[in-house]
Structure 1
């Protein structure tokens, strides 16, 4: 016949572990989307949280030549 409760629990545990491993190994899109925390206030383009000021300055100069760098990224304004 069938297995006992211990066998069913072990089988369920194996399935859950396999499912968790597949999710952990999968895409990193959710993590990358959450890390896009620097936003240009002019065009609302998002950048990774560790984007260098050089990259942000290039964006401001190339995309918004009429605006000041600090208009695009006011949180980087010197104190």
Structure 2
């Protein structure tokens, strides 16, 4: 059996930065798509410059359209998730 692979030179990353509007309220999402990041290390640097200490998630994704997006979480957790340890 043969398999083919098609490396993606510049994958699309999605960053979710979360903020809690008030104690006890659900966390709100601020989503960003990073189109020109060289690698995950550049994405992590971008997050460090923008998250202001807030919880975040980083995904690698195939698309920036919500209806067709397939994303794999690389780092972080959704603070609204019951399994999240914020």
Q: Same fold (TM over 0.5)?
A: no
Q: Which has the larger radius of gyration?
A: 1
Higher helix share: 1
Considering Cα pairs closer than 8 Å and 6+ residues apart, tell me whether 1 or 2 has the greater RCO: 2
TM-score by length of 2: 0.35
Higher strand share: 2
TM-score by length of 1: 0.38
